[in-house]
Amino acid sequence: MTVLVAGATGLVGSAIVKEFTRIGKSVIGISSKDVNLLDRDSTFEYLNKIRPTVVIDAAAKVGGIGANNSYPVEFLSNNIQIQTNLMDASHNVKVERFVFLASSCVYPKNSTQPIKEEYLMTGPLEPTNSAYAVAKIAGIELIKSYRREFDYKWITVMPTNLYGPNDNFSLETSHVFPALIRKFVEASKFNSGVVTLWGSGKPKREFLHTSDLAKALLICLEKYDSDQPINIGSGLDLTVSDLAKKIAIATNFNGKIEWDLTKSDGTHQKVLDIQKITDLGWKPAISLDEGIESTVQWYRENY
């Protein structure tokens, strides 16, 4: 069995390649250097050459609130093209199992907490990342359509906010977790007295280490076969302010934290109901404190 992981050099893809290789799977990891998934002909040609048994789609244009809000065309158009080209090319070579990684941002802004899979498309989206969310919703529907029309055992997984090695630590385009790590590491290094962060710090978020996600995907490939997405998260949340305090401690920052209230908070709370995945025998192994420590260490060693 050959497993093709698209987006293999990114935060999620690199963790999947590492875990699947560790347990002895035959893995081919690809990035934009190997094939441009925005190019339909190139994608078809590459899949026809490799002919994998399993395709895991971890390739996407991603970013934080600022990037999503500033470049909605790219987040909508690029992601629809990437996932559609990859799914269509996989169909062309009759891939047995396709795993589409969606995102918890597809759920309505004001969902009841914790968020169950059936809450999808039951209310308005968070405006700052609605373009990205709509692209992912289109991917979810395409998976369902391929299942219905061609009887494939293709699935969608819905990860919560992820973190770990190989993240994007750019202050302009990153998500909250890596942005906080970079800000506090640099503030600690240069003895800055103040770190200014976006928003109020009051929104609550859930986080999961990518190695735990990779293990969950193995369980899903073995045990899950449904046209309904399946949530993957920790089931625990905390305020962005509390996350910032944890990262400040881990980076030895002793200064003051200030909040820029002119910046958007995004969704007030987002924590997933993970009953389906826990019923399959999976649970996260890495605590948030442990994950923060290891990710800070990785950042310091690699940046």
What is the CATH number for 45?
A: 3.40.50.720
Task: Give the pLDDT confidence score for residue 230 in this predicted structure.
Answer: 98
The answer to whether residue 71 sits within a structural domain is yes
Q: What pLDDT is attached to residue 159?
A: 98
Assigned domain for 248 exists: no
Question: What's the pLDDT score for residue 173?
Answer: 86
Name the DSSP letter for residue 239.
E
d(CA 114, CA 295): 26
Block residue for tokens 């199992």: 97
Is residue 130 a part of any domain in this protein?
Answer: yes
pLDDT confidence of residue 264: 86
d(CA 5, CA 35): 12
**Predicted local distance difference test score (pLDDT) of residue 266:** 84
pLDDT, position 167: 95
Query: pLDDT, tens digit, for every residue of 126-179?
Result: 999 999 999 999 999 999 999 999 999 999 999 999 999 999 999 888 899 999
pLDDT at 210: 98
Give the domain range for residue 279. 2-165+206-234+273-286
Instruction: Write down the pLDDT at residue 64.
Output: 85
- Classify residue 244: in a domain, yes or no: no
pLDDT the model gives residue 69:
87
Say what the pLDDT of residue 65 is.
83
Peptide linkage before 159 cis (omega within 30 of 0):
no
In a domain, 48, yes or no: yes
> What is the total count of domains within the chain?
1
Task: Report the pLDDT value the prediction gives residue 13, as an integer from 0 to 100.
Answer: 98
Asked whether residue 131 is domain-assigned, the answer is yes
Residue 2's pLDDT is: 97
User: Which residues are 98's β-sheet partners?
Assistant: 55
For residue 98, tell me if it sits in a domain. yes
Rounded distance, CA 64 to CA 17, Å?
24
- The letter for the amino acid at 279 is D
Q: Do 3 and 56 meet the contact criterion of CB atoms below 8 Å apart?
A: yes
CA-angle at 279, arms to 273 and 282, nearest 5°: 90
Specify the pLDDT at position 23: 97
In degrees, rounded to 5, the angle at the alpha carbon of residue 114 between the alpha carbons of residues 108 and 120 is 30
Is residue 129 within 8 A of residue 86, CB to CB? The reply is no
In a domain, 101, yes or no: yes
Residues of the chain with pLDDT under 70: none
Alpha-carbon torsion 87, 97, 276, 237, what sign? Answer: negative
pTM of the model: 0.96
Catalytic sites, residue numbers: 132
